Amino acid sequence: MADSLADRLLRGDKRALARGISLVEDDDPAGWELVRAIYPHTGNASIVGFTGPPGAGKSTLIGALIKHQRTLDRQIAVLSIDPSSPFRGGALLGDRIRLTEHFLDPGVFIRSMATRGALGGLAEAALQTALLMDAAGKDDVYLETVGVGQAEVDVIDHADSVVLVLIPGSGDSIQALKAGVMEIPDIIVVNKSDHPLTDTMVREIRGVLSLAPHEGWRPPIIKTEATRGEGVEVLAEKLAEHRAHVEAEGTLSERRRRNLMNEVLGIATVRLRKALEATLRDDPEVQELLDEVVARRLDPASAASTILARGAIDPSEAARPDAG
């Protein structure tokens, strides 16, 4: 099944892409086989991450950007990461309503995915999904994260370019910048820029940016009014400029190398934890060890060191694709 599905996906078949994403999201071994088959055909799409606080208008901005990019005949895929989702099959949640105008466009593919508790706002399967979208011939892949603020920093591990979307009049936004999110973006967008506090916010952002050392690319600040499409063309230009910059500087390959290394380590960590839990769950010696921790006679770190020293993990269990 994986071979024929891979062939259809590589030809750009939307239904094959949707099926492949479902397999990956369900942690189905056939999904990992599919990723293995299409992986040599990836690396061509421009992957852009959109992050920022809830209500900043990320979905609306992405919708306006899609409209602009489609005039250039670019193939687009969107992966929207939701805090949780009871829906399947690519159904959008209410806050994705701004993207529905692109549903019938054959050059646009939109999918929602639940985080399932993943820290940082991105599901474990997000990069695998982005790879499938890339292999399906999409020119641009947009990752929209849940918008939880500073904990969302792992979006940088999935994107070639990162856009931070903020709105004026929100003290939370500036607090997020000061808390470390400002280290993430390649481009900063102040959306809903018809707000009277827009210029004040731009000055505050410049102030925060001036405190951080910047070599090479300096994140531009773009004012947009996404509902009317204002500033979207400038955003598209800046994304193209950033892409050209990182390609010329050689930092695109460095960033992708870091992203893929983090993904390898992330998958290995998940599989090792599952294998460890399966091996130790019914081990009486481990249960005695945990009882000692509960009784405060042994500290957790020492207990963990004892478990690791036993070499209790079965390497064949940890290596199974369905263990991740």
pLDDT in tens, 288-315: 999 999 999 999 999 999 988 876 565 5
What per-residue confidence (pLDDT) applies to 175?
A: 61
What per-residue confidence (pLDDT) applies to 242?
A: 95
Q: Which two tokens stand for residue 272?
A: 């090792």
CA distance 199 to 181: 20
Nearest one of 46, 44, 247, 73 to 162, comparing CA atoms: 46
What per-residue confidence (pLDDT) applies to 88?
A: 40
CA distance 239 to 139: 13
What per-residue confidence (pLDDT) applies to 169?
A: 77
Residue numbers of the chain with a pLDDT score lower than 50:
1-2, 85-95, 119-121, 149-152, 324
CA dihedral 314, 319, 322, 323 (to 10 degrees): 50
HEC secondary structure over the chain? CHHHHHHHHHCCCHHHHHHHHHHHHCCCHHHHHHHHHHHHHCCCCEEEEEECCCCCCHHHHHHHHHHHHHHCCCCEEEEEEECCCCCCCCCCCHHHHHHHHHCCCCCEEEEEEECCCCHHHCCCCHHHHHHHHHHCCCCEEEEECCCCCHHHHHHHHCCCEEEEEECCCCHHHHHHHHCCHHHCCCEEEECCCCCCCHHHHHHHHHHHHHCCCCCCCCCCEEECEHHHCECHHHHHHHHHHHHHHHHHHCHHHHHHHHHHHHHHHHHHHHHHHHHHHHHHCCCHHHHHHHHHHHCCCCCHHHHHHHHHHCCCCCHHHHHCHHHC
Domains of the chain (ranges plus CATH)? 43-249 (3.40.50.300), 259-323 (no CATH)
What per-residue confidence (pLDDT) applies to 324?
A: 46
pLDDT in tens, 312-323: 565 555 555 555
What per-residue confidence (pLDDT) applies to 154?
A: 61
CA distance 30 to 27: 8
What per-residue confidence (pLDDT) applies to 321?
A: 58
